[in-house]
Structure 1
Amino acid sequence: MLLSICYGRSNWTGKSSFVNSVESVLRGRIVVRAPADAISGTSYTKKYTTYKIQKDPARFYSFIFNDIMGFEQNTNSGVCVEDVKLALSGHVTEGYQFTPEHQLTESDQGYNSSPTLEDSVHVLAQYLYLLSYSFRLAASDMGIPQMAILTKVDEACPEVKKDINNVYKSMYLKQQVDEFSMLLGIPPNCIFLVKNYESEINTNDAIDTLTLIALRQMINFGEDFLNYL
């Protein structure tokens, strides 16, 4: 199952950190495998990268994350919208380096001319404030389930900063989810609140729970998509 993660520029982003957080939860220790940048404010991911997570020495978990360059609202530094559409349909090869000024074409080395079902995306997870509506429509046209993840919840709400268990008690965060739902056209039950592991040196049950809730729904959505093909 291929889970693609994209985002638009905002204070809520953290898609590469989410990959690290998922692996940290599943392995029971802090893992930093996907490069993340907390300084530049722009997308740190430049290449189309897949991440498999080891379940045991002989097996991987049945899902794969595809990390893609961010969609930078009102800048020339983010991924081309058309490249995201190509990624959704499996036309972008592993390791392709995105170039904001150049859209991937059939003549480029990074173009997969014969994508299989395993190459295409089964769930689109969006880490964003403002997202290009056009590639949301492309995902809808392909029947790809969509969800949104709001990160850095502890920085957004003082109650949550005091106690991460207050996430779903916070009226402010509930209001943010409702506003994002209206903005994106995604139902509130498809929008998830997450705190990524960034400064912690040990895993935490409350942070793990938020991550696993989002991951479980990603997998559920992906399974539903594949079952009804």
Structure 2
Amino acid sequence: MTGRALADACGKSFTKKYKTYKITKEEDGTFYPFVFNDIMGLEKDQGVCEEDIKLAMMGHVRDGYTLLLNYICISQFNPHSTLSRDDPYYNTNPSLSDKAHVLVCVVSANEVHLLNHDAMKKMRNVRLEASDMGIPQMAILTKIDEACPEVKADLRNVYKSKEQ
């Protein structure tokens, strides 16, 4: 991968902008025929509005849609309201390539127990919408070695771990 999404270890979403990542082919400098779109997380009162995630899955959110906390910004993720149709970052006529084809939820294993009821409800609602749109889904659990001492000692114990 030639570029990676930035991450933070503080338990808050680091993503402030809806960002598209392309993967470069090594042999000829062209790109693979798929992209990854990164969106802000679901923190309570500060995370992305679930309606914005649904709009992004339908292809209505343009690359660069931003959240700037404590600053004035015309186009921003807002946990209390969704992207409006008259916003310049609203894509009125999304093409097939603008739409999501897989929904991936990334959760840190050592913080999964911190997910509150509101975040879980948002995740469920987004997943139900993705199902209605026929979008396959997957979850990626990161930092599994930090969540369980048994796994940290030997990664082969990952499927034997009893950590909840």
Q: Please tell me the residue identity of whatever aligns with 1:69.
A: M
Match of 2:131 in 1: 140
Count of aligned residue pairs for this structure pair: 141
The answer to whether 1:87 aligns with 2:56 is yes
Q: Offset of 1:101 from its aligned partner?
A: 3.5
Match of 2:9 among 33, 38, 45: 38
The answer to whether 1:171 aligns with 2:150 is no
Q: Please tell me the residue identity of whatever aligns with 2:89.
A: G
Match of 2:141 in 1: 150
CA distance in 2 between counterparts of 1:117 and 1:80 reads 23
Match of 1:7 in 2: none
CA distance in 1 between counterparts of 2:30 and 2:3 reads 20
Match of 1:51 in 2: 21
Match of 1:12 in 2: none
Q: Secondary structure at the match of 1:52?
A: strand
Unaligned runs of 5+ in 2: 67-76, 113-119
Q: Please, what TM-score do these two structures have when normalized by structure 2?
A: 0.78
Q: Check whether the contact 2:41–2:48 (CA below 8 A) recurs between aligned residues.
A: yes
Written as runs of structure 1 = structure 2, the 5 A alignment for 1:180-199 is none
Match of 1:18 in 2: none
% identical aligned pairs: 57
CA distance in 2 between counterparts of 1:33 and 1:156 reads 23
Q: Offset of 1:158 from its aligned partner?
A: 1.1
The answer to whether 1:64 aligns with 2:35 is yes
CA distance in 2 between counterparts of 1:77 and 1:83 reads 13
Question: After TM superposition, where is structure 1 displaced by more than 3 Å over at least 4 residues in a row?
Answer: none
Q: Check whether the contact 2:13–2:47 (CA below 8 A) recurs between aligned residues.
A: yes
Q: Check whether the contact 2:53–2:126 (CA below 8 A) recurs between aligned residues.
A: yes
Q: Would you tell me which structure has more helix in proportion to its own residues?
A: 1
Distance 1:147 1:131, change over 3 A: farther
Unaligned runs of 5+ in 1: 1-22, 24-30, 177-229
Distance 1:145 1:46, change over 3 A: same
CA distance in 2 between counterparts of 1:58 and 1:44 reads 29
Q: Offset of 1:104 from its aligned partner?
A: 0.1
Q: Check whether the contact 1:53–1:64 (CA below 8 A) recurs between aligned residues.
A: yes
Q: Offset of 1:88 from its aligned partner?
A: 0.5
Match of 2:153 among 155, 162, 168: 162
Match of 2:96 in 1: 117
Match of 1:96 in 2: 65
Q: With CA pairs under 8 Å and 6+ residues apart, which has the higher RCO, 1 or 2?
A: 1
Q: Offset of 1:141 from its aligned partner?
A: 0.7
Q: Please, what TM-score do these two structures have when normalized by structure 1?
A: 0.57
